[in-house]
Amino acid sequence: MEIPEKLKLEYLLALDTHIETVGKENKEITLKKIFEITREIADLGFGEKDIHEIAKDEDLYIRYEEWRKSNKTESI
């Protein structure tokens, strides 16, 4: 079994959002989102190593960038 693609993409988006966010209060909100997604992944039976692999997957990053661009276009 593999972590669902959508969950991986949401995890990367949460990480990016956290990095781009300014202000302590806002950082706490984005960090909470990262923890929520991490919990969802853990609830599916995946561990820390699996979560680290998300950040190391270069092909996933390419798909993520395409996914993020298409979601920005759709929301306009």
pLDDT digits (tens, 9 = 90+) for 47-73: 999 999 998 999 999 999 999 998 875
Domain residue ranges of the chain, discontinuous segments joined by +: 5-75
- Cα 53 to Cα 23: distance, rounded to the nearest angstrom: 29
pLDDT digits (tens, 9 = 90+) for 40-51: 999 999 999 999
Measure the CA angle with vertex 43, ends 68 and 18; round to 5°: 35
Whether the predicted pLDDT of 76 surpasses 50: no
Region 11-29: what's the mean pLDDT? 93
Mean of the per-residue pLDDT values of the chain: 91
pLDDT at 72: 74
pLDDT at 47: 95
